[in-house]
Amino acid sequence: MATMKDIALRTGVSVATVSNVLNGKPGAASDSKAQEIFTIAQELHYHPNSFAKNLKLRRSNSIGIITEDLTVFNTPEIVDGIESYCEEHGYEIIVDNMRLFKRYRNDFTDTPQHSRYFENALSTLVSKQVEGIVYVGYHCREISFLPTFGDIPFVYAYCFPKGGGFSSVYPDDENAGYHVGQTLIRCGHRKIGVIVGPVTSIHAQSRLCGFQRALLENQILYNPETTFWGDWSRNSSYEIAEKLLSMDITAIFAMNDLMASGVYTYCLEHNIAVGRDISLFGYDNRDIVDLYSPAISSVAPPLHEIGRKSAELVLRQIQSNTLINERFLLPCSVHLRDSVVRI
């Protein structure tokens, strides 16, 4: 690796001059000398040593991202959002992927045993002198992994911290549930079956809550009998579909696309036309919504925006040199497709 010293030697100037020229300081050297320095730098494939530079400057111009698992569908999009915001603001990102899902599948309730991955990630990033950190969860839940020292901006994306001592950014599930309710009601539906997620899920609870609010506002009584608790899986909703479709309902709101697809499959197998005999809403707006015809209506969580907002929060804390502790609920977008009919 060529260094400034090499360039200085070759051009007969001091490292200081090389540094000044390469960093574009005006009037650091005569035009011809400057030109020569650039040429030699090129020739030698000079690349500044970021370790030396950052050490000297005592700042990294970077923020860290701790992901629970990069291979879970929501995570790359959130990271992308963080990245796009940082790029616009001259910051770099350093990703530390804990690979929790890969290692433990869904079984990683935040036990001390698992938390060493968090501690490692945190140490690594702090050692790399990141000026702030975004923690990207793979689903909305309370995270007990907390930074062990309080002096670095820390933001939770798509999840929230236990105790609430830090900022967090996540989708506004309640309002999304409300909008799904409103949309279905506006299409004339009054008797709507619901396939919720597990009772333990705040996601699911919030969506249900918003959905009930929409019913109430329209003087429609919520019917617990047509509400079933699934486990996010296709299988669970397939079974529930059988029960629901024997009841007196005109629409089904399944709280993720996977469960919506389970309903869809049931309908296909029983000659029930989705988008005619029954209306269907999913959630997450994953690529699978387009795989059926008619396509499944769904709710898109603002993943990219969650990333951007988290980054904004971190950078704001860095720039203002104050810690912020707020929760941000970002609006989801409702995508109405032909799986829903007006009746």
Q: Which residues of the chain form contacts with a copy of itself (CB under 8 A)?
A: 1, 45, 47-55, 60, 70-71, 75-77, 79-80, 83-84, 92, 94-95, 97, 99, 102, 123-124, 126-129, 148-149, 234, 261, 264-265, 268-269, 287-288, 290-293
Q: How far apart are CA 8 and CA 207, in angstroms?
A: 64
Tell me how far, at minimum, the Cβ of 9 lies from DNA, in Å.
11
Q: Pick the closer one to DNA by CB: 15 or 336.
A: 15
23 touching DNA, by CB under 7 A: yes
User: Interacting stretch for DNA, rule CB under 7 A, among 29-37, 173-181, 253-261, 323-331?
Assistant: 29-37
Which residues lie below 8 Å from residue 34, measured CB to CB, with a gap of 6+?
Answer: 21, 28
From the list 19, 144, 233, 265, which residue makes contact with DNA (rule: CB under 7 A)?
19
Given DNA, a copy of itself, none, residue 225, with its beta carbon under 5 to 8 Å by kind, binds none
Which residues lie below 8 Å from residue 138, measured CB to CB, with a gap of 6+?
Answer: 67, 68, 69, 72, 74, 75, 100, 101, 158
| 34 to 63: interface string for DNA, x by CB under 7 A | x-----------x-xx--xx-xxxx-----
HEC string for 92-126: EEEEEECCHHHHHCCCCCCCHHHHHHHHHHHHHHH
User: Interacting stretch for DNA, rule CB under 7 A, among 27-35, 74-82, 100-108, 215-223?
Assistant: 27-35
Q: How far apart are CA 224 and CA 227, in angstroms?
A: 5
* Maximum C-alpha span of the chain: 89
Given a copy of itself, DNA, none, residue 17, with its beta carbon under 5 to 8 Å by kind, binds DNA
Burial category of 317 from C-beta neighbours within 10 Å (exposed 0-12, middle 13-18, buried 19 and up): buried
Q: Does residue 132 contact residue 61 with C-beta atoms inside 8 Å?
A: no
Return residues touching DNA (CB under 7 A): 1, 3-5, 12-17, 19-20, 22-23, 27-31, 33-34, 46, 48-49, 52-53, 55-58
